[in-house]
Amino acid sequence: MEQNETKLKIKVDKLDLYYGDFQALKAVDMDIHENKVTALIGPSGCGKSTFIRTLNRMNDLIDSVKIEGNITYDGTDIYRGYDVIELRKKIGMVFQKPNPFPMSVYDNVAYGPRTHGIKNKAQLDEIVERSLKGAALWEEIKDRLHRPALGISGGQQQRLCIARVLAVEPDVVLMDEPTSALDPISTSRIEDLIDELKMNYTIVIVTHNMQQAGRISDSTSFFFEGVVIETGPTEEIFFNPRNKKTEDYISGRFG
Amino acid sequence: MIISEHTKKTKRQEKIAKGFIWSFVVLTIVILAWIVLYVLFRGFYFRNEVSYDVTNIKEQQIVLNEEIEPVVFIVHPKVRVKDLTSEDLSTIFTKKRKEKWGPYTRQDLRVETFILQGGTDFTDSVIDFLEGPEQEINKYATTVPDIDSMLKKVASTRGAIGFVPASALENTDFKVKIAPIRRISAVVHPSVKEIVNNIQMQELSTDELERIYRGEIKNWKEVGGIDLPVKPVLPPDDVPYSVIKSNLLPEGEFGPEVVHADSFDDFCSVMKETPGAVGLCFYTDVLEKGEELSIEEIGRVESGMNLTIHYLIEAPARSGAWGGISTIIINTFFLIIFTLIFSTPIGVLGAIYLVEYAKQGRMVKILRLGTETLAGIPSIVFGLFGSIFFVNMLGLGIGFISATLTVTMMILPTIIRTTEEALKSVPDSFREGSLALGATKLQTIRRVVIPAASPGILTGIILAVGRTVGETAVLIYTLGSNYELVRGPSSSARVLSLHLYNMFAEAISFDRTFATGAILIFIVLLVNYSTTRMIGRMNKMAGN
Amino acid sequence: MKRKRFEKVIEAAFLVFASVSVLSVIFISVFIVAEGLPLFKFVGFFDFLLSSDWKPTAENPSFGILAFIVGSFWVTLGALIMAVPVGLAVGIFMAEMSTPKSARIIRSGVELLAGIPSVIYGLFGFFFIAPIIRGLFGSPTGLGILTAAIVLAIMILPTIINITETSLRAVPHELKEGALALGATHWQTIVHTLVPAARSGIIAGVVLGIGRAVGETMAVLMVAGNSPIMPKGPLSHVRTLTMNIVTDLKYAGVGSLHETSLFTTGIVLFIFILVTSVTVQVYLKRSIEKEA
C-alpha cells in the first residue's frame, strides 16, 4: 500500500497528557506520514486540540501540563532532541480563529522570517510573495500589502495566517479547526488550498466537520475521551469503521 | 539538541533582555523599600552631631571646692533632660525672663527654680557657681528653708529644678531625677586655630579628645588642623580640678606627652606659652579668666528615639518645635470626618446613578468625562480655586468649611470611580432575583446591591481618606496653619501634612519633620493594608 | 403610584449628585478662566507665554512665565526618561514574566508607592537624593532639575507600571500564541507582538504620567530650588508652573494684578491637563476598540 512506502514524519508513541490530576490523553499512538493530510475527528472536549498542540509543544505554555510518552519528528525526540524554537520553525500552526497581528499584511507574513534573522528587503519581498501565492492570496492582496491586516475579510485573514506559517518554510502544518469560524465559501477555498499544500507539506488537521475530513484527508483518527478509538485510511474509517463508537459518531448518533 | 546558530543568538538576546527587566524590577522594589524605611527610620530615631563649648564629661555630683559637699542638681521626674551644660544651668537660674524647658528638652513646660535659703557655705558656693562672674539669681526663683522641703518641692512641682548636697539623696523617699552637668571645657593655644592654606581646625569630636590625651593623636593635622604637634595639658590634682582628670580617663592611661600642671596658674601659663597646647578646665574658669583662654568646640553625637508616645500625646508649641502633635492629629481626624461627610454621599449616590439608572448613552459619557477630567486637575489649581472662591469670595475664611468643600471636589472622582467598579461587579443575577420577588429598583439597590458592593465602596472611602491625609497643596491656603485644636467649623487648623511642610520649610526641626512623616507613612500603610483586605473580601464574594 | 413618584424623585436626586463632578469641572474652569483672562488687558498673550521676565512686584511689573514653562518641561522630560523604561520593564515583568503571586506582591508595592504623600517624596528627595547629587556633581545645594526629575520619576512610576501591565494583559491570547507558533522566543513575542499591540494603552499611560508630573506641586517645591529664572542646565535651580502658583499666592495682594497672573498661570496648567486628559481618553478608547 502507498502509506507503507511514504516516510514517517511524526511518530507518537504511548502519549499520556495530564492537566494537573486530570488525564486528557491516554496512551495515544499515531503515525503521521509525509505529504499526507491526517484528520483528527471526535466530539468536543475529547482531546483533539490538546493532542495537536502537543506536536508543536504549545502545551509548554501551560504550567500544569505533564506529558509522558514519546513524540519524534524526523526521528528526533521533540522534547529532548529539539530546541522548541527550532521545532516550531519546522512545525507550524494555524488556529481556529484567524489571529493576524495588528500590523500590515506584509509585516504579518514577514514576521516569521524577520524573527529568524532575515533582514534583507529583497529576500523578504520574495518570501512574502511566495508565501502569499502559496496561500492563494497573492492576487487578491498584492496591491494592499502595506495596509492593515485587520482590514481584510475573515476568510482572507485565515489565508493570511496560512501564508504567515508558510513564510517560515515549515515541514508540517498543524491546523486546529481552521475553517470553523469562516463562511462556506471561504471554507471551500481553504479546503482547496489544503489539497494543493499537501504536495509540499505534511498536514494535520483537527476538524469538527466530518464532511470536511472526508473530503480532504488521507487518513483519519477518531478521538474519544482522550483515547484514539480508531485510526486508518479515511475511506475505511468513514465507510467501514471497525469500532462501533466510530460508526456511531460518523453516523451522527452523538457528538 | 537540534538548534540553529540564529536561535542560539536570539536565546542569548532574550536572556540579556530579561536580565535587564529583572534589574529594573529589583530597582523599583528597592526604591519603594528604601523610601519607606528611610522615613520610618529617621522618624523613629534621630542622630545629630552637635557642638558645644563644653566636653561630654558629665558629673552627677559636682565638687565645687574642698570645703563643702558635692552638689547634685535635681529636677522633677517629668522633665526629660539628659544633661545640662553649666551655661544652661546659669541661664535657667539667672535669665531675666521666665524660662521654659523647650530649648533644653523640647517640652512645653515652665521652669520652676528653687534655691536653698542662703547663709550656709554650701548654698553660698552653689549660688556663686550659678551666678558666674556677672549674673544674679533672678526673681522667679523660690527659696526653700531646708533640704527636705527642697526635695519635697522639686518632687511635686512640674518643671522644678533645684539643688541639694549629694548625701541628701541617699535616704530620701522623694522621687526626683538627677540632672548631670557638663562644665568642663577644652581650651587651646591660639596657634591651633590658625588658618594655613585654607585649613583650619574646626571642632573636635569627643572621641578625638580622648585619643589626644591617651597619646594616640600626636599632630593637629590628624584631626583636620594644621601641621603642628599636639601638646596636651592637664590641670593640677587638687580639688576641684582632680575631677577633670578622673572623669576624662578614669583608668588614668594618659599618654607620655601629657603635661601635668602643678597649679592652676601653672596650667594657665603653660597654655598661654605652648604652641599646639590643648587643656581642660572648667567653663567658669574661661569666663573668669577673660581672654587668656580660648575655647575649642567639642562635638558629640546626640541620638535617641524620635517618634515617641510623648510626641503623640503632647500638644505642639512654638510652631511645633516643642511639645508634640496631639492637636494636629485631632485636627487631621476632624478634617477626614468632615470631608467624608460631604464627599461620600455625593460620590456614592452619584455613582449609583451612573451605574444603576442612567441610560448608557451620551449623557453618561459626559458625566463620566466630567469625573475623569476632575480627577486630572492638579491639586494646586484646586488650592487656588478654593482659596479665592471659598475663602475670599464666599467669605468662608480660611478654615474647615473652605478646606472641606475644596477637598471634597478633589476626592470625588476617587469615590465615584471605585464605587462604580464595585457596583458594576455585582452580578446582574442579584438584581434580577430581587426584582423578580417584587422589590422596587430603589429597594433592590438599598437592600441587595449596596451591601454586595460594600467592600468596594469602603475601599473607595479608605482611598479617599488616604488622599486627604496626604494632601498639602490644597490645604495650605484653605486650611491655614494654626496648630492649636480646631475651635469651630471655620477656624484654621493645621493637619499632619501641613505640619510636616511647615516644619520643613521654616527649618524648625528636621527630626520632627521626619517624625511626622513616619506617622503619615503609617497611615498610608494602614490604608494600603485595609484596601488590600477589602479587595480580597470583594474577590471572595464574587467567587474568585 | 406614590411609590413610583417617590422613586422618580430619588432618581432625580441621584442625577443631581452625579452631575456634581461635571458641574464642578465646569465651574472651576469658568472661574479660573474668568479670573485669569483680565491679565491679558495688561500683558500681551505672547509676552506672557514667551517672556521669562517675572517681576510681579516691581514698580513696572512684568509677567512672563517662560522660565516656569521651561522648568516644568525639563523636570517632566527628565522624569519620563527615567520612568518610562523602568515602568515598561516592570509592567512587562508583571504581565508576562512573573508568577501570579509575585505579580500580586509587586502590585501591592506599586500601590503603596502610589499612595505615599508628595511631601514625603519631597522629604526623601531633599534629605537623601540631594546630598548624593551634591557629592556626585559638586552642586552646592543638590537641588534642581535633576533632583526634581528623579523624585517625579519615582512618583509617576506607578501610573506607567499599572497601565502597561493592564494593556499587556488585555492583548488577546491568540496573538501571543500565533507569534510563538511561528517560532518566536518569548522575548521576541513581547517586543514584536505584545508591546506593539498594547501600544495605545501604553501611550495613554505615559501621557497620564506626563499630566501627573506637570501637576505635581509639593514634592518639586521641596527639591527644585525655586529660582524664577531660566535654568541653565540639569543642576540649575528651577521653578515650575505649579511652584509659581503656590509660592506667590501667599503674598499676592487680594484682587491685585499679581493674583490675576497666578490664575492666568492656572489657565495654562488647566489647558495642558485638559489636553493630556483628552489624549488619554482617546488612546484608551483606541486600545479597547482594538480588542473588538
- Shared domain for B175 and B190, answered yes or no, is no
The DSSP H or E segment spanning A22 is strand A22-33
Q: Is residue C44 part of a domain?
A: no
Cα B422 from Cα B460, distance rounded (Å): 9
Instruction: Indicate whether A3 pLDDT > 70.
Output: no
Boundaries of domain holding C93? 76-247+275-291
Q: How many domains does chain C have?
A: 1
pLDDT at residue B491, rounded to an integer: 82
Q: Is residue A165 part of a domain?
A: no
Contacts of C211 in chain B (CB under 8 A): 376
pLDDT per position as a tens digit, B20-74: 999 999 999 999 999 999 999 999 999 999 999 999 889 999 988 888 889 999 9
Instruction: Indicate whether A248 pLDDT > 70.
Output: yes
- How far from the centroid of its chain's Cα atoms is residue B524's Cα? 19
User: What's the whole-number mean pLDDT along residues C134-139?
Assistant: 91
User: What's the whole-number mean pLDDT along residues C127-145?
Assistant: 93
Helix, strand, coil percentages in chain C from 3-state DSSP, rounded to 5: 75, 0, 20
- Shared domain for B188 and B122, answered yes or no, is no
Boundaries of domain holding A207? 2-98+172-250
- Shared domain for B219 and B278, answered yes or no, is yes
Q: Is residue C65 part of a domain?
A: no
- C115 Cβ under 8 Å from any chain B Cβ: yes
pLDDT at residue B488, rounded to an integer: 75
Q: What residue of B is the nearest CA neighbor of A77? A: B1
Q: Is residue A56 part of a domain?
A: yes
Q: State how far residue B346 is from chain C, nearest Cα, in angstroms.
A: 5
Contacts of C98 in chain A (CB under 8 A): none
Of C116-125, C126-135, C247-256, least confident by mean pLDDT is C247-256
- Shared domain for B430 and B337, answered yes or no, is yes
Boundaries of domain holding B170? 71-182
Cα C171 from Cα C181, distance rounded (Å): 17
Domain ends where: B303, B333, B348?
B303
Mean pLDDT for chain C overall: 91
Beta bridge partners of B280: B186
The residue among B331, B348, B330, B312 whose CA lies nearest residue B464 is B348
Pairing of strands A202-206, A37-41: parallel
Q: How many domains does chain A have?
A: 1
Contacts of C175 in chain A (CB under 8 A): 99, 101-102
Mean pLDDT for chain B overall: 89
Confidence of residue C290 (pLDDT cuts 50, 70, 90): low
Three cell numbers, residue A81: 532532541
Q: What is the DSSP string of B245-291?
A: HHHH-TT----TT-EE-SSHHHHHHHHHH-TTEEEEEEHHHHHHHGG
Number of other CB atoms surrounding residue B451 within 10 Å? 13
pLDDT at residue A1, rounded to an integer: 44
Q: State how far residue B364 is from chain C, nearest Cα, in angstroms.
A: 9
pLDDT at residue B165, rounded to an integer: 92
The residue among B323, B335, B308, B470 whose CA lies nearest residue B401 is B335
Question: Which amino acid does the sequence have at C88?
Answer: L
CATH number for the domain harbouring residue B496? 1.10.3720.10
CATH number for the domain harbouring residue A64? 3.40.50.300
- Shared domain for B449 and B509, answered yes or no, is yes
User: What's the whole-number mean pLDDT along residues A226-242?
Assistant: 90
Q: Is residue B13 part of a domain?
A: no
pLDDT per position as a tens digit, A9-53: 899 999 999 998 999 999 999 999 999 999 999 988 888 999 999
Q: Is residue B380 part of a domain?
A: yes
Touching C: A residues 181-240, CB under 8 Å: none
- Percent of residues, chain A, with pLDDT higher than 90: 69
Q: Is residue A33 part of a domain?
A: yes
The residue among B271, B311, B322, B473 whose CA lies nearest residue B384 is B473
- List of chains touching A (3+ CB pairs within 8 A): B, C
pLDDT at residue B526, rounded to an integer: 92
- Shared domain for B163 and B204, answered yes or no, is no
Cα C133 from Cα C151, distance rounded (Å): 12
The residue among C188, C162, C166, C165 whose CA lies nearest residue C175 is C188
Q: State how far residue C94 is from chain B, nearest Cα, in angstroms.
A: 9
pLDDT per position as a tens digit, C107-127: 999 999 999 999 999 999 999
Contacts of A76 in chain B (CB under 8 A): 2
pLDDT at residue B437, rounded to an integer: 87
- Shared domain for B506 and B384, answered yes or no, is yes
Helix, strand, coil percentages in chain B from 3-state DSSP, rounded to 5: 55, 15, 30
Of A78-92, B351-365, B490-504, C170-184, least confident by mean pLDDT is B351-365
Identify the residue whose cell numbers are 491516554. Answer: A26
Domain ends where: B303, B328, B353?
B303
Cα B127-B51-B231 angle, rounded to 5 deg: 90
Q: What is the DSSP string of B398-420?
A: SSHHHHHHHHHHHHHHHHHHHHH
pLDDT at residue C120, rounded to an integer: 96
Cα A102 from Cα C198, distance rounded (Å): 10
Q: How many domains does chain B have?
A: 3
Chain C interface, mutation test: which of B12, B28, B349, most C Cβ atoms within 10 Å?
Answer: B28
Model-level pTM?
A: 0.89
Q: Is residue C254 part of a domain?
A: no
- Shared domain for B417 and B297, answered yes or no, is no
Q: State how far residue C233 is from chain B, nearest Cα, in angstroms.
A: 25
CATH number for the domain harbouring residue C178? 1.10.3720.10
Q: Is residue B42 part of a domain?
A: no
The DSSP output letter for A27 is E
pLDDT at residue C1, rounded to an integer: 66
pLDDT per position as a tens digit, B156-197: 999 999 999 999 888 888 889 999 999 999 998 888 888 888
- Asked if B1's CB is within 8 angstroms of A117's CB, the reply is no
**What are the strands, taking DSSP E only, across B283-393?**
294-296, 298-305, 316-317, 322-323
Chain B interface, mutation test: which of C68, C75, C92, C116, most B Cβ atoms within 10 Å?
Answer: C116
